[in-house]
């Protein structure tokens, strides 16, 4: 669709505004993997309720917006092996690297963090290579 990039830009501005609110009001970096991971292993500075309410907001807003959309589809694969492998890689990888697309990508690069930039280059390259291998060579996704 031709207007996809406009919705991407608007959505991106909203995501960044969310990150700005979390930083300026709560003094925290809005990284999804860190917020979830802290609930799992108790690390980090935010309180449990801060994390839970953040995640509640993330999950609830799409439900509110959904009636305005004709079609909503995640197109998640039904290949369970791929899903389990991908989930494990994302879970372990983001916690070892201490960040994901939101923490290292959006929050890190916007403050010119070298670590954020290096992490972003690594996961984009790995993701691109992954798609080449698993889609074009092996045909599993």
Partner 1 sequence: MRNLFAFIAGGLFGGGLFISGMTDTTKVQGWLDVFGNWDPTLAFVMGGAMIPMAIAWLITRRRSSAVLGTTFPPAPSTEIDRKLVIGSVMFGMGWGLAGLCPGPSIAALSYGGTGLYVFVAAMLTGMVFAPFFRTKLDRVVPAE
Tokens found for residue 82 = 């791929």
Start-end of H helices in the chain: 4-26, 32-41, 48-65, 80-97, 109-110, 114-131
Judged by CB under 8 A, does residue 137 bind partner 1? no
- We find the least distance from the C-beta atom of residue 71 to partner 1, in angstroms, to be 10
Q: What is the rounded distance in angstroms from the CA atom of residue 87 to the CA atom of residue 81?
A: 10
Judged by CB under 8 A, does residue 138 bind partner 1? no
Query: Hunting for tokens 């390259």 — which residue is that?
Result: 125
Query: Hunting for tokens 């609110």 — which residue is that?
Result: 21
- We find the least distance from the C-beta atom of residue 70 to partner 1, in angstroms, to be 13
Binding to partner 1, residues 32-91 (CB under 8 A)? 32-33, 36-37, 40-41, 45-47, 49-51, 53-66, 72-78, 80, 82-91
Binding to partner 1, residues 89-108 (CB under 8 A)? 89-98, 100-102, 104-108
Judged by CB under 8 A, does residue 16 bind partner 1? yes
């Amino acid at each position: 669709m031709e207007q996809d990039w406009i919705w991407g830009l608007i959505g991106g501005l909203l995501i960044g505004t969310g990150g700005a609110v979390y930083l300026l009001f709560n003094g925290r970096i809005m990284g999804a993997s860190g917020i979830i991971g802290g609930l799992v292993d108790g690390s980090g500075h935010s309180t449990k309720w801060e994390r839970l309410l953040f995640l509640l907001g993330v999950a609830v807003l799409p439900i509110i917006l959904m009636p305005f959309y004709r079609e909503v589809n995640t197109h998640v694969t039904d290949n369970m092996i791929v899903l389990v492998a991908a989930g494990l890689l994302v879970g372990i990888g983001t916690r070892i690297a201490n960040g994901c697309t939101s923490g290292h990508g959006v929050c890190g690069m916007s403050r010119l963090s070298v670590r954020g930039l290096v992490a972003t280059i690594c996961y984009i390259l790995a993701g691109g290579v992954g798609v080449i291998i698993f889609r074009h060579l092996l045909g599993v996704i």
